[in-house]
Amino acid sequence: MKIERIELALLKLDYIRFFETSFGREYGRTFILAKVWAGGTCGYGEVVASEAPLYSSETTQTAWHVLKDFLIPMVFEESIESPEGFAAAAKRFRGHAMAKAGLELALWDLRAKSEGLPLARLYGGTKTEIPVGVSCGIEDSIPELLDRIAGFVDEGYQRIKIKIKPGWDIGACEAVRNRFPDLPLQVDANGAYEILDKEHLKKLDGFGLLMIEQPFAPYDLWDHSLLQKEMKTPLCLDESILSERTARQACEMGSCRIINIKVGRVGGVVEAKRIHDYCESRGVPVWCGGMLESGIGRAHNLHIASLPNFKLPNDLSASNRYWKRDLIEPEIVLEKGGVIRVPSGPGIGINPVDERIRKATLREEAFRPE
């Protein structure tokens, strides 16, 4: 499976509706697609870095640079063919998890396609249907938030997550709980609070939340442990968990009781599986987070989420929650019971549509061995 060509494309897609977090409001997403070719087969990966370094320090430009100047030359010079070989070799470079993960995902897709198997089978996935929810952004008003949630609940999603920040937290939870007393509900602060807000955050214990995601800064495992000690609602870490090592330290320190796994954030599937397995051994449930991926990245997420310790509803919604038209055919749809089926074809198991990709492409470049 000698790699003959690697292609990068920078794409821009507009959301159906803006998405606001504690970082700010966004109307669309710029991201990189990685394509890896061998023997006429193409593996696809999505690099989830955004235009600005808000969620993490990576950007589309840093990822492009690291892929072009380090990771792709490494693949060609060292004749790397396997995703595991790539993950091991890429460790020499510090950071740049999203750049690494995008290329590793493309190698996984290529491997699975060349073996004629869906990715979930390669990974050891056990589920064929993935329980899913929706991540709801911050809205201009509480009535607008409630309308949005009502729409998603009517569509059949299993749980709702709302983004919170100082000034949009207790009131929002109160309103959602009054209108939807039994709704499985969780909140995500994307690190918008600090330890001085501890007493304020403790009021969230009154709303029967499934979890509170990432109240404090990514590097702050300690402050999370102080808050978790005083709350009955489980904390879930997203931005803080960068590797199996940080997962272990967070669990041992009592910084969280649940972990959100995003392949991009942890640098690839190899590391994601190590986190999954560690958490499983400790009885800590995980779920699959999202980065508002195109259908290509989300198909990858469905395969990962088929692993057995993904025990909570995932941030994996249907194509029509994000895009007027997704990049894939068939599009991802929500099934009865609030689940999405894991694609059963080889590799990611859905077909990227070249013409839609081309229409969204701002820039592209192809690389070959010297």
Q: How far apart are the first and last CA of the chain?
A: 17
Question: How many Å apart are CA 58 and CA 31, to the nearest integer?
Answer: 11
Question: Out of 188, 220, 271, 326, which residue is the one contacting ligand OSB (CB under 6 A)?
Answer: 188
The reply to whether omega before 330 is within 30° of 0 (cis) is yes
Tell me how many degrees the CA angle 198-204-207 measures, rounded to the nearest 5.
170
Strands (E), 273-350: 286-288, 328-329, 339-341
Tell me how many degrees the CA angle 110-357-122 measures, rounded to the nearest 5.
20
Residues 209-228, one symbol each (x = binds Mg ion by CB under 5 A, - = not), give ----x---------------
Binding partner selected for residue 46 from Mg ion, ligand OSB, none, CB under the kind-specific 5 to 8 Å limit: none
Please give the residues from 73 up to 132 whose contact with ligand OSB meets the rule CB under 6 A.
none
163 is catalytic: yes
Beta bridge partner(s), residue 292 = none
- 238 counts as binding Mg ion under rule CB under 5 A: yes
Question: Out of 33, 212, 291, 340, which residue is the one contacting ligand OSB (CB under 6 A)?
Answer: 291
Question: Out of 237, 292, 318, 340, which residue is the one contacting ligand OSB (CB under 6 A)?
Answer: 292
Please give the residues from 204 up to 243 whose contact with ligand OSB meets the rule CB under 6 A.
238
Q: Would you say 109 or 213 has its CB closer to Mg ion?
A: 213
Question: How many Å apart are CA 53 and CA 43, to the nearest integer?
Answer: 27
Question: How many Å apart are CA 327 and CA 297, to the nearest integer?
Answer: 10
Residue 51 beta carbon to ligand OSB: minimum distance, rounded to whole angstroms: 12
Spot the catalytic one: 161, 163, 165, 273: 163
Spot the catalytic one: 35, 100, 262, 273: 262
Question: How many Å apart are CA 218 and CA 207, to the nearest integer?
Answer: 25
Question: How many Å apart are CA 287 and CA 133, to the nearest integer?
Answer: 11
Residue 187 beta carbon to ligand OSB: minimum distance, rounded to whole angstroms: 11
Q: Which residues of the shown chain bind ligand OSB in the complex (CB under 6 A)?
A: 55, 135, 188, 190, 238, 289-292, 315, 317
Which residues are catalytically annotated? 163, 262
Q: Which residues of the shown chain bind Mg ion in the complex (CB under 5 A)?
A: 188, 213, 238
